[in-house]
Amino acid sequence: MAKIKGMCRNEDCEMCDQIQEAEKSNFKCEKCGKDLIPFGNKTSEPGGGPNKKLIGIIAGAVALLAIIGGIITFSGSGEETPKQEPVAVAPVDSDSIKAAQMEAENQRLKDSLAAVEAANAKKQETPAAKPSATPATPKPAASGSKNLGYATFKGSWPNDVNGRMIFTSSHVIDSKDPKKRVAEAGDYVIGEWADGHLVQGIWYGSDNQVKGSVIIGR
């Protein structure tokens, strides 16, 4: 049986925000056993995507609210409320809800990355401040690339608002990460570094697909 991709959203699981493959009949996290959220899988229904299913659900809910509003109006006027024929409401599709949640998560990741890029652009546009009478000696930063053994850092080490860490072997993304998330060879993280530690960033796989966001703080 073909396997499909999914993402675990259990924050207590060590594989949270990581993409896994599982059979559709047992679509659960291999670590914590919680249900996975579909990720990057095309719908098998021709012409029907998550957005169309979600629109159908919303349309059904709006129709039901309109009927309830009509009943309340007739009751308030003292007139006899006409009998209403039962209205068939579209059942809630769990796959549509999960797909909508995944779209919202992807949009949040994109917005986070855009914020990092905007901060970097603003920093480049800001004019340099005039030196004081006794200027402090800035901490030297190596630009270009730095080989860390398990990964190569592209940018200004150890501080960069838009650096890129490319992993050459399986390794914990950052020692300060409370979740101890592990990147595989070929994975990379783009984000903000301070004193050689990741502050926040977006984690990508070797196939350039988003695996999740990593927010540690300073």
| Tokens of residue 105, six digits | 């998560």
Phi, psi of 23 (to 5 degrees): -70, 150
> Is the residue at 114 inside a domain?
no
Find, among 213, 33, 7, the residue nearest to 110 by Cα: 213
**Residues 47-73: pLDDT tens digits?**
334 444 555 566 667 677 777 766 665
| 19 occurs within a structural domain | no
Distance CA 113, CA 143 (A): 21
184/143 Cα distance (integer angstroms): 25
> Is 38 domain-assigned?
no
Q: What does residue 28 show for φ and ψ, rounded to 5 degrees?
A: -135, 160
Domain span including residue 182: 145-215
Is 132 contained in some domain? no
Model pLDDT for residues 87-101, shown as the tens digit of each residue: 555 555 677 777 788
153 part of a folded domain: yes
**Total-model pTM:** 0.38
Q: How many domains does the chain divide into?
A: 1
Q: Residue 150 class from Cβ within 10 Å (0-12 exposed, 13-18 middle, 19+ buried)?
A: middle
Instruction: Please check whether residue 140 lies inside any domain of the structure.
Output: no
Asked, for residue 185, whether it belongs to a domain, the answer is yes
Tell me the per-residue pLDDT of 135-168, one tens digit each, with 9 for 90 and over: 444 444 446 889 999 999 999 999 999 999 999 9
Establish if 162 belongs to a structural domain: yes
* Per-residue pLDDT tens digits for 8-42: 888 888 888 888 888 888 888 888 888 888 877 55
